[in-house]
Amino acid sequence: MLRALLLLAVLALAACIPVPRVPGITPYKMDIQQGNFVSQDMVAQLKPGMTREQVRFILGTPLITDIFHGERWDYIYYREASDGKRENRRVAVFFSNDKLERLEGDVVSPAAGR
């Protein structure tokens, strides 16, 4: 009985030892993507004076709508590739009287940013 318990304890401790990495074999790593992807082509379609519905049709539903800043929509995009490269994009859309006024962020067309 004592030998069985001792053997069980040794096996339990052996399970806690990390397995050494095998050269040439790497674990699979998924791409992680979150938020709304907004391309330069999508932003180029936006024109000052567009309604909220028109902007939502082109860019999709905003990731963040703040109750304290009702005239601003935020589109945030984050992607981490399996090789470790990261891509972040942020676009803020501002309205005045429910019409598109201006854009700010990483992907902004010259016409819509004014």
Which domains occur in the chain, in start order? 31-105 (3.30.1450)
Per-residue pLDDT, 26: 76
The per-residue pLDDT string of the chain (114 residues; one tens digit each, 9 = 90 and over) reads: 889 999 888 888 877 877 677 787 777 888 888 888 888 888 899 999 999 999 999 999 988 887 888 899 999 888 888 888 888 889 999 999 989 999 998 876 555 444
Question: In this structure, are residues 74 and 62 in contact, taking their beta carbons and an 8 Å threshold?
Answer: yes
Q: What is the pLDDT of residue 101?
A: 93
The pLDDT score that the predictor gives to residue 108 is 64
pTM of the model: 0.65
Whole-angstrom distance, CA of residue 54 vs CA of residue 90: 19
CB 74 within 8 A of CB 90: yes
Residues 44 and 109: their CA atoms lie apart, in Å, by 5
